[in-house]
Amino acid sequence: MGRSVIAWWGIREEGRVSVFRPWFGGQVAGRGSTFGRLFTVTTFGESHGGGLGVVIDGCPAGIPLDHGAIATALARRRPGQSKYVSNRKEPDAVEVLSGVFEGHTLGTPLTMIVRNKD
């Protein structure tokens, strides 16, 4: 299966990580916190709450989870990267809560969270 879950999920790599947004057959997420057909993606949390997270349902088993691609995408939104980011000073660290074992998806819902510390 040579594709990483992050490529399936929406970060399409064209020599490097490109746009960090949910992408489903050309459709970009609209209103609400749940969207998708092939994958159902539900976001949760608030930027000024305990954290922000996502549940991805429908991801097949056996896809490698590329933590490096996730970290690179999150680094693009760090403070000081553009005028559209917050002034927070905390690092973004993704915590995988479920759906992954030994670096590969299980076929169960994939749940990830970035906890707020600041």
pLDDT given at position 95? 92
pLDDT (tens place) for every residue of the chain, 118 residues total: 444 444 444 444 444 434 444 444 444 444 557 777 778 899 998 878 898 899 999 989 999 998 888 888 887 766 665 566 556 566 778 999 999 999 999 999 999 998 988 6
pTM (predicted TM-score): 0.63
pLDDT given at position 10? 46
Residue-range domain boundaries for the chain: 5-23+37-115
Find the helix or strand (DSSP H, E) in which 41 lies: strand 40-45
The number of beta carbons lying within 10 Å of the beta carbon of residue 7 is 17
State the amino acid at position 56 in one-letter form: I
CB 34 within 8 A of CB 41: yes
Structure tokens at 6: 């992050």
